[in-house]
Structure 1
């Protein structure tokens, strides 16, 4: 079920914004779900297809749709390094947010996720206006990402576990806490939702739950949702590739 009227009023905040009403709908939310669509061609053949996602509210109503645009050659031969644009549209097919990442020859692991190997997702909302960036950072074994605003101020840090796996013996959701830069205050959470062993073994379509304070600024909520896509591409695309090998 899709939400077609997004929204008529935003009672949680009165901040001025140049974002369209469909994005300002996030003002009233403290949780969204990001569910990757199952691609049958990829299931049957292993061929890397462009990812598609639905963004849902807590009532499981679709509020946005996300479509990856990327090179067929890069998806086939450099799936982890590929550059892409993620086009987020509302239920009226209007593009409201664009997330883009450049192709990198080096796909940084935790040890070398900064510098030349650093992956960066630029977030525009609306298209053409930068609201921030998601960058990977160095660590010994944990996935480490940092969220920056348009002025390159460090807003949040996202840390993942050393072993982000789910299996029959490990069925819990996998948490990626969102903290302030000092790591002392937890301001939100990204969780990869456990969907069952059969689904996880047969498909690579992931599901995520994103939590943030209802009164968080609209731009910050947009960046937290964008960080979810960095988690998927940087952590779980790499994990699936390693499992396939």
Structure 2
């Protein structure tokens, strides 16, 4: 996708998000994982609704990746280690989004609930902006703070019988209003990775 001009106040690299209302996240399939059952760092292609690539995301947890890819990073998603799953009241899930890396632009914080995972999307000052909750098995609904209006949606997309049966690679879609603040769009994108990431400490990065 050709890079549009960057609006004032838009972090570098996020100008792609100013002109779209949906992104598609396709996790790449590693053949060795399918054949040998090994686990590698996840990699994702981020596309617009036309299928044009706008970002590439990868989990980073080694020195080589930081040295080789550091200058190309536009978004960094940090997820501290927490207890597995979303039902432990003592360890709520949390994720922070940086753009560029080192500059926080927002956070996703779990609001503990015994049955339904619920989260608050915060801006860089940790002020609540939106909230979202699991609405169905494959969809999260993003709501206004008062809960009266639907702002967007995070949905798991069917990847086909072979992909679903033999791999753990997932496809997701993130929808948001076209005029939503670009930083909040980026945090919603990070919220999707809170759903799909593993329970260990990973940092998906966008290039």
Deviations along 1:74-132, one digit per CA (max 9) or x if unpaired, are xxxxxxxxxxx99xx8xxx721010111223x22433x2x4x41221111001111001
TM, length-normalised to structure 2: 0.85
Q: Distance in 2 between matches of 1:228 and 1:189?
A: 10
Q: Which segments of 5 or more consecutive residues in structure 1 lack a partner in the other structure?
A: 72-84, 165-173, 238-245
The alignment covers a number of residue pairs equal to 195
Q: CA deviation at 1:196?
A: 2.2
Q: Secondary structure at the match of 1:134?
A: strand
Which is bigger in relative contact order (C-alpha 8 A, separation at least 6)? 2
- Bigger share in strand: 2
Task: Select which of 23, 32, 40 maps to 1:41.
Answer: 32
Structure 1 residue runs of 4 or more that deviate by more than 3 Å after TM superposition: none
1:143-178 CA-partner distances (Å, limit 9, x unpaired): 22221111111111111146x2xxxxxxxxx21110
Alignment of 1:95-110 (within 5 A): 95-104=73-82, 106-110=83-87
Matched, 1:200 2:164: yes
2:115 corresponds in structure 1 to 141
Partner of 1:180: 144
Partner of 2:15: 24
Q: Determine the C-alpha separation between the residues in 1 that align with 2:10 and 2:102.
A: 12
Q: 1:212 aligns with which of 164, 176, 190?
A: 176
2-structure distance, mates of 1:97, 1:145: 21
> Does the Cα contact within 8 Å between 1:108 and 1:118 map onto a contact in 2?
no
2:180 aligned counterpart, secondary structure: coil
Aligned residues: CA RMSD: 2.4
TM-score, length basis structure 1? 0.73
Q: Please, which runs of 5 or more residues in structure 2 have no aligned partner?
A: 200-207
